[in-house]
């Protein structure tokens, strides 16, 4: 019963978030025109866009993994780049709708995260897993965002200035934090205690994609370099016993 309520709640959450971002986008266009203007690209707007784009990377990687064909994956990723959290929310909502009644009653987040072929083949491991490559990749992205943040602070000062909060900056921040909400749902699913989940979510809110990359790298070190990469999506209860033991040590 609790899992059914969770599934319903998640559907409602991401439907509302999608509608909220569509409304925000339309309202911002109506009062401030299109965003493709040079005057909007302030240093802090540029830093926010870098932050936003890095947070899209794990979402795009998940979409690529989930989709059964390259064409559908590419189409969804293009929509993700163009429409941000509207696509994120819509995609998750569609995945939740596609769950069978049995999957919704068992563990809806688990079934949404994994593609069906992975569920049917959980005991097979790849000979050449990209886990090490992923560790390096997300470490570099995290350092890139850290460098961007430090550089913008040094060259343009504090971001907490009233003149920076233009209509398009506000819309971008709403877009950004809706994606953070999607990532936060995954963090809550992954973490074994509410305290650790809350700490990670606070860090996500405060430091954005720096925290996203740090969290993903930490989780990548909870699986071995020979494990299939998709295991990073799962919490310790749904991994192999050996993976659960390793993750408990992290």
Res 94: pLDDT: 96
Q: What's the token pair of residue 209?
A: 């994609």
Distance CA 44, CA 227 (A): 39
Q: Does residue 23 sit in helix, strand or coil?
A: helix
At residue 100, φ and ψ (nearest 5 deg) are -75, 160
- Residues of the chain under the 50 pLDDT cut: 120, 122-126, 241-250
pLDDT at residue 66 in the model: 95
**Cα–Cα nearest to 48, from 87, 84, 89, 91:** 84
Backbone φ and ψ of 39, nearest 5°: -70, -20
pLDDT for res 71: 96
Q: Alpha-carbon distance 84 to 87, whole Å?
A: 6
pLDDT of residue 239: 60
pLDDT at 128: 56
Return the sign of the alpha-carbon dihedral for residues 93, 99, 105, 111.
negative
Q: What pLDDT digit, counting tens, does each position of 22-37 carry?
A: 999 999 999 999 998 8
Q: Which helix (DSSP H) or strand (DSSP E) does residue 29 occupy?
A: helix 2-32
Task: State residue 39's pLDDT score.
Answer: 87
Q: What is the length of the chain?
A: 250
Got the DSSP string for 141-175?
Answer: HHHHHHHHHHHHHHHH--S--GGG--HHHHHHHHH
Q: How many CB atoms lie within 10 A of CB 129?
A: 18
What pLDDT is attached to residue 242? 39
Under DSSP, the state recorded for 236 is G
What is the model's pTM?
Answer: 0.89
Contact (Cβ atoms closer than 8 angstroms) between residue 217 and residue 135: yes
Locate 88 and state its tokens: 């994120």
Residue 122's pLDDT is what?
47
Q: What is the pLDDT of residue 241?
A: 42
């Amino acid at each position: 019963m609790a899992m059914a309520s969770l599934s319903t709640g998640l559907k409602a959450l991401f439907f509302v978030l999608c509608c909220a971002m569509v409304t925000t986008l339309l309202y911002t266009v109506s009062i401030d025109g299109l965003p493709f203007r040079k005057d909007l690209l302030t240093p802090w707007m540029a830093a926010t866009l870098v932050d936003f784009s890095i947070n899209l990377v794990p979402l795009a990687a998940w979409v690529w993994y989930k989709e059964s064909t390259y064409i559908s994956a590419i189409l969804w990723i293009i929509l993700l780049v163009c429409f941000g959290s509207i696509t994120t929310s819509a995609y998750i909502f569609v995945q939740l709708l596609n769950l069978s009644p049995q999957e919704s009653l068992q563990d809806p987040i688990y079934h949404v995260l994994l593609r069906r072929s992975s569920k049917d083949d959980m005991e097979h491991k790849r000979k050449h897993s990209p886990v090490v490559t992923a560790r390096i990749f997300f470490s570099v992205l995290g350092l890139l965002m850290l460098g961007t943040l430090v550089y913008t602070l040094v060259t343009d000062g504090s971001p907490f200035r009233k003149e920076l909060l233009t209509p398009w900056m506000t819309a971008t921040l709403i877009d950004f934090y809706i994606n953070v909400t999607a990532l936060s749902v995954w963090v809550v699913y992954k973490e074994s205690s509410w305290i650790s989940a809350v700490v990670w979510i606070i860090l996500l809110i405060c430091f954005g994609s720096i925290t996203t990359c740090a969290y993903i790298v930490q989780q990548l070190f909870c699986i071995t370099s020979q494990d299939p990469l998709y295991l990073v999506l799962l919490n310790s209860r749904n991994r192999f016993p050996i993976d659960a033991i390793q993750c408990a040590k992290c």
